[in-house]
Structure 1
């Protein structure tokens, strides 16, 4: 069997590497791996979870508060009292994550009291929500009523970016209708400490190009996408009850100099989500979501998703790397660089996540590498199976493959009623040829006979096998005795012509030799098994040798041979 030239082999590997890279790019850009991407991220991000900053305190509107203060919504006089309590405790800032987009028609004085309390504090950030006017319709911004908006130190959007599985992995540091003009609520809170007019570079993947025209005024536009490394558990911050703060049942030292996030945490109230890696039964309130966002910003731990271009480029490089590495000595078996590259892809994702604060999903590259490994394994198994059923010297089927084929073709012949012919042969005086000219000449003769037999048995179901030593067999389905005898004759002619070729024409040419052939044809109605058919062909071969060799003999009778069907060449 011929082997590909080295140049052809490397060219094929290079083309395969290009194909693998292109497939990795296609998988990355198509988003087909979104679900496994999220699954892998949820498990890897656990190792990047930061500790909860002790300066963050969550004030919960919880079941205890509802039990003491009554049914929600409460009078805004109550909220004014809370803001004053927090102001007197000298808190650093307050994110009041409660929707205040409608005036209290039955208590306008309560609205006025709350507006004045917010103004006295000077450190209160209020939320902006986006909601559709009608189902699948355009969105509107739900802002605090003008009195509150004018009194607040800042406004920030309070969107919880939920993915299809209900998990909140990301946040958009800026968002808004028509343009991303609102900072996230926690970011607006943190920016209270920045000098007026100061601008800082925000982390995250840019989703809005500055050179593009503004989006529609009805589109909710997001920018600066980051993934939040949630604490473990997500509510690991210090929590206090709203009513306990209101009634001064907690020490002031717990609040002084700290960031306060006020939000709803009572069962059945407010928006809830799950943090990455949390069980399906777990939930996280909007206040905890904002607390985690604030914690991320304080610790400068934002995780930036790699852009689609960079993701596709890196995935393409990883997908092509095993084939490029296989050029190196010691790595020429593709499976080894493939395994190494798959491990390297996972390690790279972990290192980028934990130390580079960048999320690169290795799943598209791993998918392409796994596909390539599967194809390589399939080809290896096929090659191994073929080698297990083929003769190493001639490349023909071996005795095991021949026995299987003979049994199968006999069953087919019984069902179809078609004849099945078997030729069994060996090289005349092969031992003398080996002893006189050496095993190299003997091997050349075996290969030459194999080539001749293959040229005369070309149909898809025809089978040429080397049974062992110098013994060969040719299985010819749907072939009559007369046709089999004709094929045997052509084999004798081919061997005679082979022996007449000048030896200088080919250094690997075989010495001249002849062969004896035994033939048996299975007919419809014969009650013979595979061993019987072979024994009759072998007996015919024995008669061909007895009558002078270099001839074929056909065993057409039930027990006794009846004649010689081919003449001596």
Structure 2
């Protein structure tokens, strides 16, 4: 049950759980929202969104202010404008002007405007949300009762800004205590249409109506606005030109009209996706025009719910594990690459064809982290492979040389002894030629197992230097302890003759061992190795199957 397949399955499961947990946290805490917003802006700007020619802005601009005088104007003026627009046969009008207080010194102007609103029957007036004081509860600033009763509809003009100051989204319904007001653009788009109670608005449902406070501004049906390029690219005429009859009737007939302030420094000024600091900011009426354009063209982009975002991201981050083993995808980096490409592609496809926004950065971040860890693991594995012997799995000559230098420095610093054992299999060439290379390989693997068993401390190192030559590096080991270890190796080899290898019976074999323990701080790595090699030569000259120390201490394996 603990075989390689079970270990791999357990490892994949733990990896999947870790990736899913991390991507969930990134979504829940909106860690990557700025990067996601940048990607959304880039993708939406790459797609052309034309301004509908049925939308016309009547701008309260610098020209109108120059000719009609200081703001605010008499409401007689607005009444006259509505009469002009009504005579032109417009489809509907959004008068985006604050009318929450009566004109104390011009009650006749209020009466004229109320009459014009009533005669038109196509005018939408705004409802503003405003805090009574800093951090206090919101209040609804509605038109005075005369205007509210005469208007065809009321719509909120709540504008939503993201953390970077960009106005990317709108809530199609909002209100104090409950989302009972449509947005101004939505109310205007519904002028002249029979309301369909079964028709579902686009947008993400975000309002918690059960726990809503009557003093809290509640929003619902969130949509992302696909802005035109440029955001103020709608047909626009000056307020004063309409008032004086200088605008052709054909330009107004059958159009949706939005009346609002565009003069710099007077109204709302917003930044839209693609906006640069050197450009004039978008006005509030342009924001409403883009929202209306979105609604009449059925282009609203709906953010996916957090549940869907997390679900899709979890699927994306575990996709490499699901793809592993498919033809052509056996190597781990290929499924990871496929997933890294699939995430932005999925986000673009949902935006382009599904009018839905899926933020891809959390999944990309987790996959990117996985790719980095994969590269590091590959580099580590490559380094280990470069420093290990493929037959026995022991350290190779390169690794041995590095460790010998490092342990010598440590020995000089601490004053502790360092012992080195060099081993050769006795008459290995004869054994290898007589029994064949498979038997020789089995002998080398068996010896490596014995040496590992006798060098078990963390800093001990067993290396195959080449052919049948092995080395055992023993930090903080005295000559006597090194000689005792050499003796146990001889004993292990003698006991091995009755056992079998993994594939075939092991032929009996012995080994000769040379031992050297550092005696002086002046000894170099080359000198230590030379003395151990000389000791190995002496062990062979003395009859093999024994150990020899160049200091004169000798040991012999039991016969």
SS at 1:402 equivalent? helix
Cα shift readout 1:32-80 (whole Å, capped 9, x = no counterpart): 2322222221112223442100111112222222222222222222222
Equivalent residues of 1:14, 1:324 under 8 A apart:
no
Cα shift readout 1:14-47 (whole Å, capped 9, x = no counterpart): 4433443344334333322322222221112223
Whether 2:467 is the aligned partner of 1:472: answer no
SS at 2:495 equivalent? helix
Q: How does 1:345-384 map to 2 (within 5 A)?
A: 345-384=343-382
Q: How does 1:189-268 map to 2 (within 5 A)?
A: 189-195=188-194, 200-208=199-207, 213=210, 215-268=212-265
The whole-number CA distance in structure 1 between the counterparts of 2:360 and 2:506 is 56
Match of 1:307 among 302, 305, 316: 305
Equivalent residues of 1:98, 1:263 under 8 A apart:
yes
The whole-number CA distance in structure 1 between the counterparts of 2:557 and 2:37 is 78
SS at 1:187 equivalent? helix
Cα shift readout 1:453-488 (whole Å, capped 9, x = no counterpart): 111111111111111111111111111112111111
Equivalent residues of 1:126, 1:156 under 8 A apart:
yes
Query: Aligned pair in 2 of structure 1 residues 483, 198: CA closer, same or farther (>3 Å)?
Result: closer
The whole-number CA distance in structure 1 between the counterparts of 2:437 and 2:226 is 72
Query: Aligned pair in 2 of structure 1 residues 506, 76: CA closer, same or farther (>3 Å)?
Result: closer
Q: How does 1:406-485 map to 2 (within 5 A)?
A: 406-485=404-483
TM (normalized to structure 2)? 0.95
Cα shift readout 1:94-133 (whole Å, capped 9, x = no counterpart): 1111111122222222222222222222211110010011
Whether 2:156 is the aligned partner of 1:161: answer no
SS at 2:416 equivalent? coil
What is aligned with 1:103? 102
What is aligned with 1:566? 555
Equivalent residues of 2:131, 2:138 under 8 A apart:
yes
Query: Aligned pair in 2 of structure 1 residues 479, 217: CA closer, same or farther (>3 Å)?
Result: same
What is aligned with 2:293? 295
Match of 1:545 among 522, 540, 546: 540
Equivalent residues of 1:61, 1:264 under 8 A apart:
yes
Query: Aligned pair in 2 of structure 1 residues 197, 355: CA closer, same or farther (>3 Å)?
Result: closer
The whole-number CA distance in structure 2 between the counterparts of 1:325 and 1:475 is 44
Deviation, structure 1 residue 7: 4.4
What is aligned with 1:337? 335
Match of 2:521 among 493, 517, 526: 526
Cα shift readout 1:516-554 (whole Å, capped 9, x = no counterpart): 11111113x431211111111111111111121111111
Equivalent residues of 2:91, 2:191 under 8 A apart:
no
Deviation, structure 1 residue 217: 1.3
Equivalent residues of 1:17, 1:320 under 8 A apart:
yes
Equivalent residues of 1:178, 1:214 under 8 A apart:
no
Whether 2:511 is the aligned partner of 1:515: answer yes
Equivalent residues of 1:17, 1:324 under 8 A apart:
no
What is aligned with 2:143? 144
The whole-number CA distance in structure 1 between the counterparts of 2:432 and 2:257 is 97
Cα shift readout 1:202-260 (whole Å, capped 9, x = no counterpart): 11112236xx5372211111111111111111111112222222233332222222111
Deviation, structure 1 residue 423: 1.1
SS at 1:566 equivalent? strand
Query: Aligned pair in 2 of structure 1 residues 16, 261: CA closer, same or farther (>3 Å)?
Result: same
Whether 2:108 is the aligned partner of 1:125: answer no
The whole-number CA distance in structure 2 between the counterparts of 1:530 and 1:77 is 102
Equivalent residues of 1:52, 1:236 under 8 A apart:
yes
What is aligned with 1:176? 175
Deviation, structure 1 residue 567: 2.5
Query: Aligned pair in 2 of structure 1 residues 376, 214: CA closer, same or farther (>3 Å)?
Result: closer
The whole-number CA distance in structure 2 between the counterparts of 1:5 and 1:413 is 40
The whole-number CA distance in structure 1 between the counterparts of 2:6 and 2:198 is 58
What is aligned with 2:549? 554
The whole-number CA distance in structure 2 between the counterparts of 1:490 and 1:289 is 86
Cα shift readout 1:167-201 (whole Å, capped 9, x = no counterpart): 11111111111111111101111111212676632
Instruction: Supply the RMSD in Å over aligned alpha carbons.
Output: 2.0
Deviation, structure 1 residue 441: 1.0
What is aligned with 2:314? 316
The whole-number CA distance in structure 2 between the counterparts of 1:511 and 1:111 is 114
Whether 2:279 is the aligned partner of 1:273: answer no
Cα shift readout 1:331-378 (whole Å, capped 9, x = no counterpart): 222221121122122111111111111112222222222222222222
- Could you tell me which runs of 5 or more consecutive residues in structure 2 were left unpaired when the two chains were aligned: none
The whole-number CA distance in structure 1 between the counterparts of 2:195 and 2:419 is 99
Q: How does 1:85-96 map to 2 (within 5 A)?
A: 85-96=84-95
Query: Aligned pair in 2 of structure 1 residues 527, 567: CA closer, same or farther (>3 Å)?
Result: same
The whole-number CA distance in structure 1 between the counterparts of 2:64 and 2:386 is 78
Cα shift readout 1:353-409 (whole Å, capped 9, x = no counterpart): 111111122222222222222222222221111111111111111111111111111
Equivalent residues of 2:160, 2:170 under 8 A apart:
yes
The whole-number CA distance in structure 2 between the counterparts of 1:564 and 1:245 is 114
Deviation, structure 1 residue 509: 4.9
Cα shift readout 1:303-338 (whole Å, capped 9, x = no counterpart): 111112222222222222211121334322222112
Cα shift readout 1:281-303 (whole Å, capped 9, x = no counterpart): 44211111110111011111111
Equivalent residues of 1:48, 1:229 under 8 A apart:
no
Equivalent residues of 2:487, 2:557 under 8 A apart:
no
The whole-number CA distance in structure 2 between the counterparts of 1:532 and 1:328 is 54
